Amino acid sequence: MLEPVDVPISDGSIKLGQFLKLANLVESGSEAKPLLAGGMVRVNDEVETRRSRQLQVGDVVKVATEAARVAGE
């Protein structure tokens, strides 16, 4: 299993699309769209297709072989 990298956020929550870019899992929002539509993004081991999904501290996002955890500051 992948060991997620902790990515700190300044607020208590962040949208999935923003977090994908912040965690360097994608380079742009346009790169995120087909990954989400194709079921390639998982949040807490469940497929997620909504870019606007609100993530909380502790959530783990996986794309292919990379994983990142939402961390507080």
SS (H, E, C) 6-73: EEECCCCEEEHHHHHHHCCCCCCHHHHHHHHHCCCEEECCEECCCCCCEEECCCEEEECCEEEEEECC
At 1 the pLDDT is: 54
Q: Which CATH superfamily groups domain 5-71?
A: RNA-binding S4 domain (3.10.290.10)
Which residues are registered as beta bridge partners of 8? 71
Residue 29's pLDDT band, with cuts at 50, 70 and 90, is confident
Q: Which residue has the higher pLDDT, 1 or 42?
A: 42
pLDDT at residue 2, as a whole number: 66
Per-residue pLDDT tens digits for 34-73: 999 999 999 999 999 999 999 999 999 999 899 999 998 7
Tens digit of each residue's pLDDT (9 = 90 or more) over 9-26 = 998 899 999 999 999 999
